[in-house]
Amino acid sequence: MSARGTEGVTDRPLVLANVSRRGFLQGMTAAGGFILAAGFSSVARAADPPKYGADGMPNGWVDDPLVFVAIAPDGTVSITCHRSEMGQGVRTGMPMIVADELEADWKRVRVVQAPGDEKRFGNQDTDGSRSTRHFFTPMRRCGAAARTMLEAAAAKRWGVPVSEVEARNHEVVHAKSGRRAGYGSLAKEAAQQPVPARDSVRLKDPSKFRYIGKGQTKLVDGPAMVTGKAQYGIDTRLPGMLYAVVARPPVYGGKVVSVDSTETLKVPGVLKVVEIEASPAPAHFNPVGGVAVVARNTWAAIQGRRVLKVTWNDGPNGSYDSAAFKSAMEESARKPGKVVRDNGNVDGAMAGATKKIEAEYYIPHLAHAPMEPPAATVRISGSKAEVWGCFQSPQATKDLVAKRLGLQPADVTVNVTLLGGGFGRKSKPDFAIEAAVVSKAMEGKPVKLTWTREDDLMHTYFHTVSVEHLEAGVDAQGKPVAWMHRSVAPTLFSTFVEGAKNEHALELAMGVINVPFAIPNIRIENPEATAHTRIGWFRAVSNIPHAFAVQSFVAELAAAAGRDPKDFLLEVIGPARRITPEELSDGWNHGESPEKYPVDTGRLRRVVETVAREAGWGRQMPKGRGLGIAAHYSFVSYVASVVEVAVDDQGVISVPRIDIAVDCGATVNPDRVSAQMQGAAVMGLGIATLGEMTFKEGRAQQDNFHTYEVTRMSGAPRETRVHIIPGDYAQPMGGVGEPGVPPIAPALCNAIFAATGKRIRRLPIRDQLKA
Amino acid sequence: MTPVTVNGRRYNINLPDDTPLLWALRDELGLTGTKYGCGMALCGACTVHVDGQVVRACQTPISAVSGTKVTTIEAVGTDRVGRALQAAWVDMGVPQCGYCQAGQIMAATALLKRTPKPTDAEIDDAMSANICRCGTYVRIRSAIKQVAAAGQSGATR
B99: domain CATH number is 1.10.150.120
Q: Looking at residue A537, what is its pLDDT?
A: 97
A90 vs A131: CA distance, rounded Å:
7
Q: Which of B43, B91, B133 to mutate to test the interface with A (most CBs of A within 10 A)?
A: B133
Q: Are residues B127 and B66 in the same domain?
A: no
Q: Are residues B60 and B101 in the same domain?
A: no
Query: What is the CATH number for B19?
Result: 3.10.20.30
Q: Are residues B137 and B94 in the same domain?
A: yes
Q: How many CB pairs under 8 A join A and B?
A: 189
Note whether B123 contacts A235, CB cutoff 8 Å.
Answer: no
Note whether B31 contacts A228, CB cutoff 8 Å.
Answer: yes
- 3-class DSSP assignment, residue A37: coil
Q: Quickly state the pLDDT bin for A374 (edges 50, 70, 90).
A: very high
Backbone region of residue A219 per phi and psi (left: phi > 0; alpha: psi in -120 to 50; beta: other values): beta
Is residue B155 in some structural domain? no
Residue type, A222: G
Name the domain boundary from B49, B71, B93: B71
pLDDT digit string, tens, across residues A700-744: 999 999 999 999 999 999 999 999 999 999 999 999 999 999 999
From chain B, the residues in CB contact with A372 under 8 A are 35, 37, 97, 99
Peptide bond into A764 cis (omega under 30): yes
Structural domains of chain A ordered from first start? 62-227 (3.30.365.10), 234-316+374-450 (3.30.365.10), 322-366+461-756 (3.30.365.10)
Please give the average per-residue pLDDT across A157-174, as a whole number.
98
Closest chain A C-alpha to B56 CA, distance in angstroms: 15
Residues 278-307 of A with CB under 8 A from B: 297-299, 302
Q: Looking at residue A50, what is its pLDDT?
A: 86
Q: Looking at residue A29, what is its pLDDT?
A: 32
Note whether B138 contacts A678, CB cutoff 8 Å.
Answer: yes
Q: Are residues B40 and B88 in the same domain?
A: no
pLDDT digit string, tens, across residues A444-469: 999 999 999 999 999 999 999 999 99
Note whether B128 contacts A88, CB cutoff 8 Å.
Answer: no
Q: Are residues B92 and B62 in the same domain?
A: no
Is residue B128 in some structural domain? yes
Q: Are residues B57 and B116 in the same domain?
A: no
The total domain count for chain B is: 2
Note whether B96 contacts A418, CB cutoff 8 Å.
Answer: no
- The alpha carbon dihedral of A485, A486, A490, A496 has a sign of positive
Q: Which range of residues forms the domain containing residue B31?
A: 2-71
Q: Quickly state the pLDDT bin for B154 (edges 50, 70, 90).
A: low
Q: Looking at residue A637, what is its pLDDT?
A: 98
Name the domain boundary from B71, B88, B114: B71
Name the domain boundary from B71, B98, B131: B71
Is residue B113 in some structural domain? yes
Q: Which of A96, A227, A660 to mutate to test the interface with B (most CBs of B within 10 A)?
A: A227
pLDDT digit string, tens, across residues B58-68: 999 999 999 99
User: Is B128's pLDDT higher than 90?
Assistant: yes
Q: Are residues B37 and B65 in the same domain?
A: yes
Q: Are residues B64 and B85 in the same domain?
A: no
How many alpha carbons lie under 13 Å from residue A96 in its C-beta half-sphere? 23
A535 vs A602: CA distance, rounded Å:
35
- pTM to 2 decimal places: 0.95
B17 vs B62: CA distance, rounded Å:
6
pLDDT digit string, tens, across residues A232-265: 999 999 999 999 999 999 999 999 999 999 999 9
Is residue B154 in some structural domain? no
Q: Looking at residue A763, what is its pLDDT?
A: 98
Note whether B43 contacts A705, CB cutoff 8 Å.
Answer: yes
Is residue B14 in some structural domain? yes
Closest chain B C-alpha to A370 CA, distance in angstroms: 6
Closest chain B C-alpha to A472 CA, distance in angstroms: 36
A531 and A495 Cβ atoms separated by less than 8 Å: yes
Q: Are residues B98 and B51 in the same domain?
A: no
Q: What is the ipTM of this complex?
A: 0.98
Is residue B7 in some structural domain? yes
Please give the average per-residue pLDDT across A395-402, as a whole number.
98
Is residue B34 in some structural domain? yes
Q: Quickly state the pLDDT bin for A47 (edges 50, 70, 90).
A: low
Q: Are residues B95 and B67 in the same domain?
A: no
Q: Looking at residue B152, what is its pLDDT?
A: 77
pLDDT digit string, tens, across residues A693-702: 999 999 999 9
Note whether B134 contacts A1, CB cutoff 8 Å.
Answer: no
Q: Quickly state the pLDDT bin for A771 (edges 50, 70, 90).
A: confident
Q: Are residues B111 and B63 in the same domain?
A: no
User: Is A26's pLDDT higher than 60?
Assistant: no
User: Is A8's pLDDT higher than 70?
Assistant: no
Q: Greater confidence, A58 or A9?
A: A58
pLDDT digit string, tens, across residues A75-112: 999 999 999 999 999 999 999 999 999 999 999 999 99
A587 and A505 Cβ atoms separated by less than 8 Å: yes
Q: Looking at residue B1, what is its pLDDT?
A: 87
Note whether A718 contacts B120, CB cutoff 8 Å.
Answer: yes
- The residue among A188, A84, A663 whose CA lies nearest residue A415 is A84
pLDDT digit string, tens, across residues B64-81: 999 999 999 999 999 999
Q: Are residues B81 and B144 in the same domain?
A: yes
User: Is B9's pLDDT higher than 50?
Assistant: yes
Q: Quickly state the pLDDT bin for A4 (edges 50, 70, 90).
A: very low
Is residue B60 in some structural domain? yes
Note whether B38 contacts A453, CB cutoff 8 Å.
Answer: yes
